[in-house]
Amino acid sequence: LRASQSIQTIGGFIEPQIPAKYYLNLKTNQIIFKEGIAFKAIVAQEDQSNINWEISDETKKVGDFLCQKATTSFKGNHYIAWFSTTISLPFGPWKLHGLPGLILECYDTTNFFLAKATKVDFNIKCEDFPNKIEKAALNNPVTMKKYLELRSNENEDIFNFYQSISPRDTYLKVETNYTGFNREPF
């Protein structure tokens, strides 16, 4: 979905998704991230612990890059990552990082998510990044405790919003199926 699109359901529309963004500060070992919770952009800060990767000798090509396999357990889930030492940056998608090369493909063992690089561009200049990575928008992040509270109340907040804009005697029902879902949004 693009940010300007909505999902139509039988009962109405779900507001546009707020794109999630994650910024890792290697000096402070903190992640500042922005995610949508109940139609609002929430910025939070988290101390990032080191991820204990097991690097194997197995390799495969991802696009034009030879990548090496690494596995880890992180935040209650098991991940497989393919990283390239040709690009010696310790970054990856979401909160995954810390390998001796850029993670170009990553997935969990339950097949809940897959992140795969589709393009690598070495010709981007730092000044091309808008507003210095939205630095101003990332001021005053909430604590992880507050973030988790907001996340746990999200369904109730969405229900209350739709109830408030619905005609009288409208029946609303919110159903979620998080079977096997024990991770933060990706």
Residues constituting the chain = 186
Rounded alpha-carbon distances, angstroms, from residue 91 to 53, 58, 114, 134: 13, 20, 16, 19
Tell me what pLDDT residue 6 has. Answer: 42
- Tell me the longest C-alpha to C-alpha distance in the chain: 63
Do the beta carbons of residue 71 and residue 59 sit within 8 Å? no
Q: For 85-110, how does the pLDDT look when each residue is reduced to its tens digit (9 = 90+)?
A: 999 989 888 888 899 999 999 999 88
The CA radius of gyration of the chain, in Å to the nearest whole number, is 19
Successive 10-residue mean pLDDT values, the chain, 186 residues: 42 59 78 80 82 96 95 90 94 88 93 85 64 57 86 78 76 59 46
Tell me what pLDDT residue 8 has. Answer: 41
Which segments within 63-159 are labelled E, that is strand? 65-74, 77-84, 102-108, 114-116
Read off the amino acid at residue 160: N
